Structure 1
Amino acid sequence: MRTIQESGSPDNGGSHESPGDQVVIVLTTWPDDDRAGEVARRLVEHRLAACVTRLPRHRVTYRWQGAIEEAEEHQWVIKTTRGALPRLWDAVRAAHPYETPEWLVLDVAGGGEAYLQWVRASTAI
């Protein structure tokens, strides 16, 4: 990703964007498989995400259907907007191999205004 020069101070959450333009972070996990790169690229190509960060493989322990399970997964950090969430969820759900994929949406309270604008522009349709 290219570096964007910012002028002024970072936005501290006081911007006046519409609710659909609010930048959010989505956390999800993906199994350790070969399709992950293809899916992440499609999310960006279709303007559902400005960026998909796929963190290195890690080991997870969790309870599923009454049993303690372990698996290897990649944590994904997806930068998008609230307005893109329904389409992003549909795309992730359609491609995801898990019955119940992780889907956590975190509001972004502030950040560099140039970066926030880049996320908005990258997900605008």
Structure 2
Amino acid sequence: MDKLLMVMTTFPDVATAQAAAEGIIAQRLGACVKQLAPCTSTYRWQSSIESEQEVPLLIATCALRYPALEQYIQTRHPYQVPEIVAWPLEQALPAYADWVAQETGETPNV
């Protein structure tokens, strides 16, 4: 049985984030992609402190789909080093877990 994950990534604008969300769903790499409100990220890049507007995505998926999801995001992302992080979901409504598993082609283990 596979674990459910919540994956987060960010994109530089709404259009790029929306295109990624649609591709993720179309390829069954995630069951649901939530596009959050734009935010400001501050970070160090190449010895300089930067602040940029970004659009976060939260992606519900199964652990077995994570490698393909990571690859999908990384190969289509405009950043050299995109933020792609994941958390295991310890609890979920069983019907929701089943739906995520069905939409990603996996069997849930929550």
Please indicate, yes or no, whether the TM-score normalized by the shorter chain is above 0.5: yes
Match of 1:68 among 20, 29, 49: 49
The answer to whether the 8 A contact 2:17-2:57 is kept is no
RMSD, matched Cα: 1.2
Q: CA deviation at 1:111?
A: 1.2
The percentage of counterpart residues that share the same residue type is 34
Match of 2:35 among 47, 50, 54: 54
One-letter identity of the residue aligned with 1:111? A
**Counterpart in 2 of 1:87?**
68
Determine if the alignment matches structure 1 residue 104 to structure 2 residue 85. yes
Aligned length: 106
- Higher percent of residues as helix: 2
One-letter identity of the residue aligned with 1:115? Y
Mapped to 2, the partners of 1:96 and 1:37 lie a distance apart of 12
Q: CA deviation at 1:33?
A: 4.7
Give 5+ residue unaligned stretches, structure 2.
none
Report which of the two structures shows the higher radius of gyration computed on alpha carbons. 1
Q: CA deviation at 1:62?
A: 0.9
One-letter identity of the residue aligned with 2:16? R
**Counterpart in 2 of 1:31?**
12
Kindly provide the CA deviation profile for residues 54-105 of structure 1, in whole angstroms up to 9, marking residues without a partner as x: 1011111111111100100011111000000111011101110001110111
**Counterpart in 1 of 2:22?**
41
One-letter identity of the residue aligned with 2:30? A
One-letter identity of the residue aligned with 1:122? E
